[in-house]
Structure 1
């Protein structure tokens, strides 16, 4: 392996760069997870998470990846053979579907082209056909990390309400929480799924369920098997800031610091920063003459951008050139778009100069790889950053 001076540029859409403040916060002795010091820590993070989800309802923390939170959302509310509606918006919607089917659920998978988000009109038509209310849950990925598509969750809730349908609404916010505006209570979401390693700026290892009163009621009748994922023991222990089993203590130290950082900046400012950086990236892509994977402007992601390469050019080969020459990691294409797209992560602890360096590496990589493009993408992005600098 060749030596690279300087820091590695980790510009995948997650795990994201972990700020030094959070690293230092985790660099503490592990404490007794049954003692009063931990009880105070537990109460702080459980309360502090609620504004991040924009909810007054409970938020449950698991030592797990986001996949664990997917499973927890389903097994706590549903029973074998229940029907659920899911939308094909990218690889992560496909993976959630596969998990649901392995659990014995019947998935009505609304097909998509991986270039547009979940359709409220399609959902309404599907629900209107469900006169017996056999569908028990509607599951959507808010921001599909594989395609850079952000779906309109409020519109899905309106479709449910207009149809008078009682199905639960479950939403994956793994790559949007803490980076894209999200409103658990206002949008009538019943279970919100999230993870620690993206907008929350932590290493992988924590996942979350924010749960509504309606979801908690449904949990009383759910018969899917659950033990580790069961909400009941978690919520009971959480009343005192504790957990029913050994928690990820040092990650919780980091979570407390992450919440502090987000509140210091203010969530409105956090969302505006992500929107500004995303627009700068899109201007660079446009100037290069390349194409976005997401086709609809009102569904552009603020946390990542998936870029298509021209036919005949391998996105993974391009990524290797960037890694080998500039020590920068870009996200690979997943599933149906493997080899066709690369992904630029611009979420979490991120600023203008980090973005400028990222786009410079991409533009140099395009040239070295022989990818047809027009120079000047970096300048287009910098112009936007200067014009919008407060």
Structure 2
């Protein structure tokens, strides 16, 4: 039976696609080797440098973010190389599993899934690696499974303080274009991202931002690769083209998304996400529930992960909320499966949309019989009213 009104897709990605981007994607496909394509490709490649805040190379693949994970590893490392990774949640765990499958030897620093990577522990381990056997440090910036953010600039400082030459690789698949990320300033060597989160696109594009140091490594790295080879991208990208058929219509959408982000101003985008994250957490605490991220200052503006009361199923609550209020919430993954639900508040999102989302969650809690205090949505509303959005001039 049809339900009236719009469906609320409040998972932490894919995010809802704005009409402007849908219209751009619907443009007629053109010859990806013809003269008109060069402007499309160059606009996307140069535009993404601004989003990553880098003057170095950005490569675009027609793939999910998982593909860009693989590209980051196989372009810089060889089977048998040691890699230091930090367990911030489900997606850090998957990247670790991929490294093993590729023949690398990852060392996984155990985490509690309640916060981001810990720079002091990374520094301690690197100081002990006196023979510099560890070739890369891999960290997830915004851990989508937990709603925690890792302090990437501090991780870079930890590597430098240890006097270690390891590459710094960062997954910001769900962080890019939603929370601040500074590739050059923070000394990142390889960054991984995807189209379906803060960039407001459907899934299908992934990205590697690559330092000159990492690009040099890729000339000699010993892993087998073909589709993911950065070296094959460099020449064609210089004139706006690709070594194989690109996702042309997604590139149309990407260029529209980049324009929209700059029209709003990246700093305003980041401030909006931070404000919405704070309002969502205020609602959760007013309900008497617990935010999964337990480290103050590391909470994400992209999503809020909420722990269910003991004895109550997060998945049953989500199913009830979907059935009665047509809202999709994110599920708990692996270690926190059925223990957590996740509220996405990312992408093209405003105060009124957040209030509708939190009202839907609160009604769902009541309908599902989950113990809670009423009025959390009202607390979030007061927070939004009291914290007027401060906007700076658009770029």
TM-score of the two chains, using structure 2 as the length reference: 0.98
Deviation at 1:51, TM superposition (A): 1.1
Aligned to 2:83: 84
Deviation at 1:255, TM superposition (A): 0.1
Deviation at 1:117, TM superposition (A): 1.3
What SS does the aligned partner of 1:140 have?
strand
Aligned to 2:166: 167
Unaligned runs of 5+ in 2: 390-395
What SS does the aligned partner of 2:36 have?
helix
Deviation at 1:387, TM superposition (A): 1.0
Deviation at 1:235, TM superposition (A): 1.3
CA distance in 2, matches of 1:307, 1:4: 27
Aligned to 1:101: 100
Aligned to 2:66: 67
4+ residue segments displaced more than 3 Å: none
TM alignment of 1:1-390, pairs within 5 A: 2-390=1-389
CA distance in 2, matches of 1:85, 1:236: 32
CA distance in 2, matches of 1:237, 1:345: 37
Task: Kindly indicate whether the alpha-carbon contact (under 8 Å) linking 2:219 and 2:231 is maintained by their aligned counterparts in 1.
Answer: no
CA distance in 1, matches of 2:352, 2:155: 37
What SS does the aligned partner of 1:299 have?
coil
CA distance in 1, matches of 2:219, 2:39: 29
Task: Kindly indicate whether the alpha-carbon contact (under 8 Å) linking 2:168 and 2:188 is maintained by their aligned counterparts in 1.
Answer: yes
CA distance in 2, matches of 1:54, 1:155: 18
Task: Kindly indicate whether the alpha-carbon contact (under 8 Å) linking 2:159 and 2:166 is maintained by their aligned counterparts in 1.
Answer: yes
What SS does the aligned partner of 1:318 have?
helix
What SS does the aligned partner of 2:169 have?
strand
Give deviations 1:140-162, integer Å, cap 9, x for gaps. Answer: 00010000010000110000000
What SS does the aligned partner of 2:244 have?
coil
Give deviations 1:167-190, integer Å, cap 9, x for gaps. Answer: 000000000000000000000000
Deviation at 1:116, TM superposition (A): 1.8
Deviation at 1:388, TM superposition (A): 1.5
Deviation at 1:292, TM superposition (A): 0.6
Unaligned runs of 5+ in 1: none
Give deviations 1:254-298, integer Å, cap 9, x for gaps. Answer: 000000000000000000000010000000001000001100011
Task: Kindly indicate whether the alpha-carbon contact (under 8 Å) linking 2:85 and 2:96 is maintained by their aligned counterparts in 1.
Answer: yes
CA distance in 1, matches of 2:347, 2:115: 24
What SS does the aligned partner of 2:116 have?
coil
What SS does the aligned partner of 1:297 have?
coil
CA distance in 2, matches of 1:4, 1:137: 50
Deviation at 1:57, TM superposition (A): 0.5
Deviation at 1:389, TM superposition (A): 2.3
Deviation at 1:378, TM superposition (A): 0.5
CA distance in 2, matches of 1:233, 1:384: 50
Deviation at 1:319, TM superposition (A): 0.2
Deviation at 1:221, TM superposition (A): 1.6
TM-score of the two chains, using structure 1 as the length reference: 0.99
What SS does the aligned partner of 1:139 have?
strand
Give deviations 1:222-247, integer Å, cap 9, x for gaps. Answer: 01010000001111110110000000
Aligned to 2:393: none
What SS does the aligned partner of 1:72 have?
helix
CA distance in 2, matches of 1:163, 1:218: 21
Deviation at 1:3, TM superposition (A): 2.2
Give deviations 1:72-126, integer Å, cap 9, x for gaps. Answer: 0000000110000000010000000000000000011000111121111110110
CA distance in 1, matches of 2:115, 2:46: 35
Aligned residues: 389
